[in-house]
């Protein structure tokens, strides 16, 4: 709990809400009725709530920041911010992969590394944050969390140039899976590093890319993968 609260910059008044947000249904079902467990429920309802809160917060922030973009453009931008890849990346930043409570089956299949599951946990956390802190505080924390991602998007041509989003849509359509990006090499001094990133579906490597940031390298890898597909 302390790890998450330190990362987020907020201390929960009701710690059971945070515990519930980290409790997957598989774990809850295995420990239902255990007197040694303090978990009152799993996180699916919090995920439902968090999804709605996240959409409202990001919609409001995007409208304030970019009044010149129409609703269709804003919808696409919001979709690029709340997709599985982005939310799972934030979940990893918050160390949710180390703290989520999973059943034995999910543990055996490395459930704590699955982007879909991690994205769901983040949405559950948002739901818990909203219930504990209220909307205004939850929004403040979420805007801060997404701020660098707001700034990284090319809002005029974001979908054309956001190859990661386009690749994710294509891969899910063809393979019914989510692409995974891995840093396989980095060279140079700290102030001018060059990163090499590869994108995979399962064990299949689709492409690799280079860039002066991990995001830039990932975009190049996604662009090359799209050309191959």
* pLDDT category of residue 213 using cuts at 50, 70 and 90: confident
Are residue 185 and residue 149 in the same domain, yes or no?
no
- Looking at 103, 125, 156, the residue that finishes a domain is 156
Q: Is residue 5 among the annotated active site residues?
A: no
Map tokens 């040694």 to a residue. Answer: 36
Which has the closest alpha carbon to 113: 93, 88, 83, 90?
A: 88
- Looking at 138, 156, 174, the residue that finishes a domain is 156
Active-site residue, from 47, 61, 84, 123: 123
| pTM (two decimals) | 0.65
Are residue 170 and residue 140 in the same domain, yes or no?
no
Are residue 150 and residue 185 in the same domain, yes or no?
no
Are residue 185 and residue 203 in the same domain, yes or no?
yes
Are residue 150 and residue 195 in the same domain, yes or no?
no
State the average pLDDT over residues 172-179: 87
Active-site residue, from 47, 51, 132, 162: 51
Are residue 121 and residue 10 in the same domain, yes or no?
yes
Are residue 66 and residue 97 in the same domain, yes or no?
yes
CATH number at residue 37: 1.10.1520.10
pLDDT at position 113 is 83
List the domain range (segments joined by +) for residue 47. Answer: 2-156
Are residue 142 and residue 197 in the same domain, yes or no?
no
Long-range contact pairs involving 16-19 (C-beta distance under 8 Å, separation at least 24):
16/40, 17/46, 17/128, 17/131, 17/132, 18/125, 18/128, 18/132
Are residue 81 and residue 10 in the same domain, yes or no?
yes
pLDDT at position 221 is 94
Between 72 and 14, the more confident residue is: 14
Between 72 and 25, the more confident residue is: 25
Task: Round to whole Å and give the CA distance between 85 and 199.
Answer: 12
CATH number at residue 213: 3.30.160.20
Q: Is residue 123 among the annotated active site residues?
A: yes
Q: How far is CA 189 from CA 82, 183, 193, 210, in A?
A: 33, 17, 6, 16
Are residue 147 and residue 222 in the same domain, yes or no?
no
Residues whose CB is less than 8 angstroms from the CB of residue 205 and which lie 6 or more positions away in sequence, other chains included: 198, 199
Between 164 and 221, the more confident residue is: 221
């Amino acid at each position: 709990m302390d790890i998450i609260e330190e990362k987020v910059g907020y201390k929960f008044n009701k710690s059971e809400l945070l515990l519930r947000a980290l409790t997957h249904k598989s774990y809850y079902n295995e420990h239902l009725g255990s007197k040694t467990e303090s978990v009152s429920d799993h996180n699916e309802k919090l995920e439902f709530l968090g999804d709605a809160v996240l959409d409202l917060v990001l919609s409001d922030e995007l409208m304030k920041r970019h009044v010149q973009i129409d609703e269709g453009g804003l919808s696409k931008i919001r979709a690029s911010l709340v997709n599985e890849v982005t939310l799972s990346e934030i979940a990893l930043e918050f160390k949710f992969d180390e703290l989520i409570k999973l059943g034995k089956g999910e543990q055996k299949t490395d459930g704590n590394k699955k982007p879909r599951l991690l994205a769901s946990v983040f949405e559950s956390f948002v739901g818990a944050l909203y219930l504990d802190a209220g909307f205004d505080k939850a929004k403040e924390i979420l805007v801060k969390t997404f701020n660098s991602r707001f700034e990284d998007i090319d809002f005029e041509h974001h979908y054309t140039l956001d190859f990661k989003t386009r690749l994710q849509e294509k891969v899910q359509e063809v393979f019914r899976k989510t692409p995974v990006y891995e840093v396989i090499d980095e060279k140079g001094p700290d102030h001018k590093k060059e990163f090499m990133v590869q994108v995979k579906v399962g064990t299949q490597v689709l492409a690799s890319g280079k860039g002066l940031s991990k995001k830039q390298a990932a975009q190049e890898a996604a662009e090359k993968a799209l050309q191959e597909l």
